[in-house]
Amino acid sequence: MARESAPVGTLCDVAGLRVGHWSDPEAQTGCTVVVCPDEGCVASGEVRGGAPGTRETALLAPEKSVQRVHAVVLSGGSAFGLAAATGVVEALEARGVGFPTPFGVVPIVPAAVIYDLGVGRPLPRPDAEAGRSALEAASAAPIAQGRVGAGTGASCGKYLGFERAEPSGLGSAARTVQGAVVAALSVANPVGDLVDPSTGAVVAGARLADGRRPPPERRLETFTDALAGTNTTLVVVATDAPLSKTEAYVLAQSAHVGIARVTRPSHTPSDGDTTFALSTGRGPKVPLTLLAVAAQEVVAEAIVRGAAAARVS
């Protein structure tokens, strides 16, 4: 039986990764940058749900030739927030970090966004300067969680309207499996509620006018097409175990299972759930099945931890 730790720590438990935030508490938006070692991380990803907002995700498919990425950007601001990745790309280029080409390096920086325009003020939005600021703030210290970075304006339980939703925030968790670290960073912004996976009890989500939780059937009875494009859960799962790009894709798929464990409902046409998987390759080789199961666990834990931190941040 493989020995593994309980979910604790954060994404930066994976040696070589750094994370930085830029936050605007007044506008209730922000962005978060996961910075890889200069040589990059083997990476893949998967987009599910009907309403994603992404950049450079096509190259993450396992059959594409690019193997490594140099950073991942998660941002608020809906499609406008994808501009934050431009600032990260430009700053990394200035440092000489990127994919080598005959005429200079090209940093590979996939990005994904959440819709938070209706939470605070629709302006300002994360832009290239916000991305650069998040990159400059990146460190290997334990990650701030809750209403910070891309999670500043994240909310859940919007099926009764934005005014009935609760903050869901940014969360992170990590564990070890046979000596390898598996960790996750999440920004939960679903149309549905977030639940305790062991009990099914709602930990964050919609409330009725009197403060009570609505019965589960209300999640479906009240859905309308007006919610489309305004919800998304974003996840970065990372490990120091060596992985091929195809194996990283399996980890990205497993991350979606973690989302589904704690989100009711998840992966709807109104959501744009997107996962990224990174491997630094600096740790021990571990069976892929063990890594995949651990990824499911840390993603679920990260989402719940983010919601808990958002209530007090």
Residue 308 forms part of a structural domain: yes
How do residues 198-257 score in pLDDT, each as one tens digit? 888 999 999 988 989 988 777 767 666 656 668 899 999 999 999 999 999 999 999 999
Residue 218 in domain: yes
Residues composing the chain: 313
Q: Is 94 contained in some domain? A: yes
Q: Which residues of 267-301 are buried (b: 16+ CB within 10 A; e: fewer)?
A: bbebbbbbbbbbbbbbbeebebebbbbbbbbbbbb
* In the predicted structure, residue 16 carries a pLDDT above the cut 60: yes
Burial of 1: CB neighbours in 10 Å, binned 0-12, 13-18, 19+? exposed
Q: Is residue 142 classed exposed, middle or buried when 0-12, 13-18 and 19+ CB atoms within 10 A define those classes?
A: middle
Percentage of the chain surpassing pLDDT 90? 78
Question: What gap in Å lies between CA 225 and CA 270, rounded to an integer?
Answer: 8
Q: What is the CATH number of the domain that holds 176?
A: 3.60.70.12
Residue 1 forms part of a structural domain? no
Please state the domain count of the chain: 1
pLDDT digits (tens, 9 = 90+) for 134-171: 999 999 999 999 999 999 999 999 888 888 899 999 99
pLDDT of residue 215: 82
The predicted model scores a pTM of 0.94
Distance CA 127, CA 118 (A): 18
SS (H, E, C) 130-191: HHHHHHHHCECCCCCCECCHHHCCCEECHHHCHHHCEECCEEEEEEEECCEEEEEEEEEECC
Tens digits of residue pLDDT in 87-136:
999 999 999 999 999 999 999 999 999 999 988 887 889 999 999 999 99
Asked if residue 265 has a cis previous peptide bond (ω within 30° of 0), the answer is yes
Give, in degrees to the nearest 5, the angle at Cα 246 between 277 and 89. 45
The b-or-e profile of 201-225 (16+ CB within 10 A means b, else e) is: ebbbbbbeeeeeebeeeebeeebee
Residue 2 lies in a domain: no
For residue 94, give the 3-state DSSP assignment: helix
In angstroms, the first-to-last Cα distance of the chain is: 39
**Rounded average pLDDT over 6-15:** 86
The token pair at 219 is 């999640």
Assigned domain for 284 exists: yes
User: Mean pLDDT, the chain, as a whole number?
Assistant: 93
Q: What is the DSSP letter of 214?
A: P
195 is a domain residue: yes
Query: 287 is in which domain, residue-wise?
Result: 11-312
**What residues are paired with 174 via a beta bridge?**
8, 183
55 DSSP assignment: E
5 belongs to a structural domain: no
